[in-house]
Structure formats: C-alpha cells, structure tokens
Amino acid sequence: MTKIRVGVAGASGYMGAELLRLLLAHPGVTISGVTSERRAGERLDHAYPHLRGLSDLTFHELDGEWLAAHADIVFLALPHLESQRLVPILRARDCKVIDLSADYRLRAAEDYVTWYKAPHTDPRGLAEAVYGLPELHRKEIAGASLVASPGCYAAGAILATAPLVRRGLARLDGIVVDGKSGVTGAGAQGRSVDPMYIYTEANENIQAYGIASHRHTAEIEQELGFLAGAPLRVAFTPHLVPLNRGLFTTASVPLTRGASTPELVELYRECYAGEPFVRVLGQGERPTTRAVVGSNYCDVTVVADPRTSRAVCVSAIDNLGKGGSANGVQDLNLVCGWPERLGLEAPPVYP
C-alpha cells in the first residue's frame, strides 16, 4: 500500500489528539504535519505524553500554504468559523480536506447566519462539501474532495432514528431527541474554560444546556429531512454528564402506524445490514457508552411504545469516535478507496 501524507490542523485539542492516536496506527498514512496556535514550536510528544516514542513531529503555526505543501489530505480540527478560511487555500493547491468542525455541514449558507451568527465566506466549498456520515452518504464521500464530518450529537441522533424516517414509519412532527455527552465534547478550551466544565461543577452533576438553541439541531433536521424527502422539525436538548467521553441519545419518535418491538428491531437490522460500525442490539439489550469508548462503533436499539404510538430509539457512541475523529478516519478510507475498517479494527476499550 502506498502511503499518503496527512496533515492535521488544530492537533492539540481533544479531537486532534484522538485523530493522531488513530492515524499513527493507520497503515495507509504518514502524518506529515501538525499545527497548533497554542503550542506552535512544541514537540507533539511533549504536549501529549501518551504519544511518546510514536512521533517526533513539532507543532507548526496554522498556515494553509505550509499545510498544502506538506500534505495530500488535511484534517481540520479547528474552532467553528476557522475552517472556511483555510479550505479555499488548501483546495486551490489540490489538497483534499476532511473538516471536523461545523463549517461545511449545513447545505444552506443562510443557516450559518441563523445557527452560527456569521455569514459563510466560502460558498463554492459549501456547495461542493459532502456530509460525512457514511451510513447516509457513502457513495458521495468516496468521490468528494471536501468532507464535513458530522457533529457528535447529530451522529448519535441520526443513527438512532434514521431507519424509521427512511422507511416512512416516523411522523415528521413531534420527534423529541435527548442527548447526553461527556465533557470532552466541549473541546480542550485552554484558559477560557466555561465554568460548567470545571471538575467541581461537572462531577456528580448533570446539566442541560443550549436548550432550544443547540447548533447540532440544524444538522439533525437537515439529514433526517433528506431521508424523509420533506422538511421536519426536531425538539433537541443536550446535556453535560460527568464522563470523559461518550454520548448517549434517547429519541422519542411518533409512528405513522402501529408496530411491535420485534418488528422495529428487524427493521433496524435490515437498514444497517452490512454497516461495519453500527451494531443493532436485540430485544432486551441496551446500549451503553462504556461498550463503545475508544471506537467508531454506534450501538443502537429501538423499543415500541404502543401506549403512546411512539418508538423509543436509543444509541451510544464515543463523542470523539463515531462522533468525531474515528468517523473522520472512516471518511478518509472512503475518499482513498480503502476498506472502511482500515485503521479502525481495534475493539472498544473496556472497562
């Protein structure tokens, strides 16, 4: 296998660190450059001691021309609104891009004004970007030069509910999604840490935030609307829970007709048949975050609630895995024409 050169911008955050851990063990890539505004000039293994002996790279300052000269494919693990400054530079130099931020996830430019309070500055890139959830857009990702990896809450919610929406069993009004994420979902915030992420506030505590306003709502509605063939609205509430990593989703979906739990579970098995990273649990089994940590897996199940004519859909992912960097590596494999499991074969970490 001929190795490709991969660069990582924003490599000093949690998402970047997880991406480096995966790429260093990937047989198809050589990490050729890493950037960090906070740690420019510092050795990678000094910033992350768990990578000692695995890399002698040094963080470079963020520079699109430098990245383009050193890499064939660049991962962007940057704060929102930053990627759209770099993408035009990288693509002009024929670099393919996998963006882990939100900058290219939404199809309509006006949605960025609504949800991110800023206009999008790269309309050409936005028009050509592919939403990077392989379970929905595998063929498009394989031919893409710009892939927008999903947000963690969006990935958990979409995978939990997609089979019902795809098969026309979900009513498009009244879908309610509850998401719970570990604290790494907020990123490595450096000196400007929101008090809710301080240990004494997060430990032994659960907090709702972004109520009726969280940005991943737009992704969930966009992608489920794509499956439904019609616009829909979702009531989504995220919560912070005292975990390092992990994301748990419970979605209550009104049904268009009556259905039993065995029927719905079989539907999920049919829809996800052949998917390498979606594990449909049987009746009586329940997803847990512990069973997916450190992996690209999504564990999912569904239970019928005939009393309310609803289905309760449950999924568990690692917010840095299927909700972030590992999904980005799956996208990389598709872009390069490699087996999707390449570099992602290790089972989840337990306990």
Tell me the per-residue pLDDT of 220-263, one tens digit each, with 9 for 90 and over.
Answer: 999 999 999 999 999 999 999 999 999 999 999 999 999 999 99
Q: What 8-state DSSP symbol labels residue 59?
A: P
Q: What is the pLDDT of residue 345?
A: 96
Q: What is the pLDDT of residue 190?
A: 47
Does 192 score more than 60 pLDDT? no
Reported as a pLDDT band with limits 50, 70 and 90, residue 187 is low
- Domain ranges in the chain? 4-149+324-336, 153-317
Alpha-carbon Rg for the chain, nearest whole angstrom, is 20
Catalytic residue positions, numbered: 152
Name the fold adopted by 4-149+324-336: Rossmann fold (3.40.50)
Q: Which residue has the tokens 């306990």?
A: 351
Cα gap 191→47, rounded to integer Å: 16
Does 197 score more than 80 pLDDT? no
For 317-346, write each residue's pLDDT tens digit.
999 999 999 999 999 999 999 999 999 999
The reported pTM is 0.95
- Render the burial of 311-329: b for 16+ CB within 10 Å, e for the rest: bbbbbbbbbbbbbbbbbbb
For 290-302, write each residue's pLDDT tens digit.
999 999 999 999 9
Nearest Cα residue to 28 out of 348, 347, 346, 329: 329
Enter the CATH code of domain 153-317: 3.30.360.10
Reported as a pLDDT band with limits 50, 70 and 90, residue 184 is confident
Does 191 score more than 60 pLDDT? no
Q: Is 136 within 8 Å of 277 (Cβ atoms)?
A: no
